[in-house]
Structure 1
C-alpha cells in the first residue's frame, strides 16, 4: 500500500477497506481518513498479541511426567473452583 501516516479519503476507505486494513495489520501502517479535506479518523495497528500456543511454543518440547504434573499442579494453585452466581 503506502507509507506510515498516509492519508486517504473516506471514499478510498469504502472502496478499499480490505486492502487498507491488511496494510495496517501486516505493515504496522497508520492511516488518516479524511472527509471533505478534513481528518475524521485514524486507523492504527493494535498492540501485538501472543496466543497461548505461541507462548507455549518456547517451552521445551518434552517434559518428564513429573515435570508435567508439577506444572499442572502449580498452574491450578490459588484458583477457587466453586461456581458462583454473578448476579447474587
Structure 2
C-alpha cells in the first residue's frame, strides 16, 4: 500500500489508476498529511465463460439433455408478473 497526495492524484490520475489496476495495490490519498480516501482495486469477478471454461467442449446427447433438464428444474414456462 502506498500513499499519494490529493494534488498528485489530480495531476496523475490516469497513471495512478493504471498502476492500481495493473498491480492490484491499494493507494491512500492524503490531504494536508491526513488520509482522506483509499483507491482499492475491484474484487475479481468470474464471468460465466470463465466458470465454464474447464468443462468439456462437447457433451453427449444424454449429458446435454440432463444439463437442460437440470437447469430448468425449478422453472415453468408461464409468464410471471415480477411485481405481484
- TM-score when scaled to structure 1? 0.80
Runs (5+) with no aligned partner, structure 1: none
In the alignment, does 2:18 pair up with 1:22? yes
- TM-score when scaled to structure 2? 0.83
Tell me: CA distance 1:80–1:10, structure 2 relative to 1, closer, same or farther (3 Å).
Answer: farther
SS at structure 1 position matched to 2:42: coil
Give the superposition deviation at 1:35.
1.1
Equivalent residue, structure 2, for 1:83: 80
Tell me: CA distance 1:48–1:66, structure 2 relative to 1, closer, same or farther (3 Å).
Answer: same
SS at structure 1 position matched to 2:75: coil
Runs (5+) with no aligned partner, structure 2: none
Give me the CA root mean square deviation.
Answer: 1.7
Distance 1:71 1:15 in 2: 53
Equivalent residue, structure 2, for 1:61: 57
Aligned length: 83
Give the superposition deviation at 1:57.
0.6
